[in-house]
Amino acid sequence: MPSSPLARTRARASVLAALTVSALVATGQPATAAPDRDATDPLNRAFDRAAQEYGVPRDLLAAVGYGESRLDGHAGQPSQANGYGVMHLASNPENRSLEKAAALTGESADRLRRDTAANILGGAAVLRDHADRLGLDRAERSDVNAWYPAVARYSEAEGPAAALYADTVFTFLAEGLDATAPGGEKVRVPSRPVAPEKDGVPSAGIYAQSPDYPTARWVAAYSGNYVVGRKAAVDKVVIHTTQGSYAGSISWYQNPASKVSAHYTIRSSDGEVTQSVLEKDTAWHAGSVNSSSVGIEHEGYVDNPAWYTEAMYRSSAALTKHLAARYNIPKTRSHIIGHSEAPGATHTDPGPNWNWNHYMQLIGGTPGTPGDGLTFPSYTLQQSGSTGPQVKAVQQLLNAQGYAAGTADGVFGPATKSATQAFQRARSLTADGAVGPKTWTALLSVGTTPALSRGSSGDAVKRIQRALTAALGTTVDADGSFGPATETAVRTYQSGRGLGVDGKVGPATWGALQAGR
């Protein structure tokens, strides 16, 4: 395609003229044939228009968009690989499809990121550009099967990951789609027989078998994105959400710029598993617990529950069961943890849409408290003679603050009592050595005091959520993301303590919580 803006406009106009007729042939059906399509269907109209303008079969375009995003543009928020919108137009060192789409369409990068119709048009332009570079003529462009190599190139992945990507799209075409986008719009792709022309797409190794887990595929991560060997014994499984597509994530681990990897990645649609790092090696997925854990990534986005399919839960649970047996990992929430529950984690995955109780049932484990050992639906009185996980949490918190509570063994003995009294004196609380609501509130909120409000996330939010649970005596989900429920809890706390009621956590609210008020 020409690159000057003037030439671009002309080229685009001529493409449009040439394609208004042939686009009807492209999918074997008129682009406007679906009966329920009208002005309230912005996504369908965007697919139709982009398909016509760039001569890409409409159903192929929709299948690529569905595979990338489940048709969720995430309001312009980037994926882990810095990709945007329904078509996941990316801007990272290995994939510059966003910049490419801007050059091809004349749209600004900002509009391509935020505007779904522009984003779909950009995706179509990039696909068409790949087709042109592969030398597809008009007749070939009307046959979805001829587009396989162009779809593989659209992934900007190498070797097996590119073939995995294209295979996923062609499976959607073969099986058909009946998708509901966020907002409720339906996008349908009828099922059809497919026979993709795979010439020129290196598929060597695509069916390579995982060395550790026989039913998985093997696509290795870049050697600079993990460390050979481990510094600790494996005693945890960490559950993640990719914030990107399956093949896109696997190719992200192959990207030297990413500095991330995971042992396993699971596909949303059917639970397919690909291994990228050997279990004996340390993948870079969860910071503080990398050396003692196996990381499992689940295709999807934290904010869209559509990705967490039953097929994926079952496949993941089978893998975790296998890992638990191999490494003797207890099937409890202290050992099967979410990324957000790893100490010091700044990520929120897998988030509130992940059904932990269901998952723990599937692995035959015990649902219960998350891996940090600090999160409980309520905090009860702990004093001399108490035992159990909440005593352990008290001991952990006191020890972390330099109050010598002794070994965190879950038994409230004399050392724990005197450490509690020392902590209480430092906070001007009644030094009775018993941990009731005030002492819990003070203990759970200790640490840094960043300003927090709706949209904040991370460990500080979790501390606030736990402290509010103790202070208010009602459960505030400690998911590390500051949503409406957390805001309501903050307001309730502020009004109950005579603070300014704004639903935000600033110095006054932090101060009150840390003083155990």
| Site of interaction with Zn ion (CB under 5 A) | 240, 339, 347, 349
Distance of CA 150 to the CA centre of its chain: 26
Cα 425 to Cα 403: distance, rounded to the nearest angstrom: 12
Of 347, 335, 405, 323, residue with least CA distance to 372:
335
Q: Which of 90, 79, 34 is nearest to 59 (CA)?
A: 34
Between 279 and 341, whose beta carbon lies closer to Zn ion? 341
The 3-state secondary structure of 58-106 reads HHHHHHHHHHHHCCCCHHHCCCCCCEECCCCEECECCECHHHHHHHHHC
Taking the least distance from each CB to Zn ion, the nearer of 67 and 300 is: 300
Give Cα separations from 139 to 16, 40, 369, 466 (angstroms): 16, 33, 59, 62
- Residue 33 contacts residue 103 (beta carbons within 8 Å): no
CB of 68 to Zn ion, least distance (A): 19
32 vs 346, beta carbon nearer Zn ion: 346
CB of 244 to Zn ion, least distance (A): 11
Give the orientation angle of helix 97-105 with respect to helix 5-26, to 10 degrees. Answer: 100
Closest contact distance (angstroms) between CB of 349 and Zn ion is 4
**Dist. CA 360–CA 371, nearest whole Å:** 13
**Cα 216 versus chain centre, distance:** 21
Measured over the CA atoms of residue 209, residue 155, residue 303 and residue 34, the dihedral's sign is negative
3-state secondary structure of 264: strand
Contact call for residues 444 and 374 (beta carbons, < 8 A): yes
Q: Rounded to the nearest whole angstrom, what is the least distance from the CB of residue 232 to Zn ion in the complex?
A: 19
CA nearest neighbour of 40 among 179, 178, 176, 183: 183
Smallest distance from the beta carbon of 442 to Zn ion, in angstroms? 30
Helix (H, G, I), strand (E, B) or coil at 244: strand
Query: For Zn ion, which is the closer residue by CB, 319 or 467?
Result: 319
Query: Which one, 105 or 261, has the nearer CB to Zn ion?
Result: 261
Name the residue nearer to Zn ion (CB basis): 85 or 295. 295
Shortest separation between residue 181's beta carbon and Zn ion, angstroms: 25
| Closest distance to Zn ion from the beta carbon of 362 (Å) | 20
Residues 54, 62: Cα–Cα separation, whole Å: 14
Q: For the chain, how far is it from start to end, CA to CA, in angstroms? A: 66
Nearest to Zn ion of 339, 466 (CB atom): 339
Q: Kindly state the smallest distance separating residue 353's Cβ from Zn ion, in Å.
A: 14
Q: How far is the CB of 279 from Zn ion (least distance, A)?
A: 18
**Which one-letter amino acid corresponds to residue 368?**
G
When the beta carbons of 211 and 344 are compared against Zn ion, the nearer one is 344
User: Which residue's CB is nearer to Zn ion, number 88 or number 240?
Assistant: 240
- The candidate with the shortest Cα–Cα distance to 196, out of 159, 164, 167, is 167
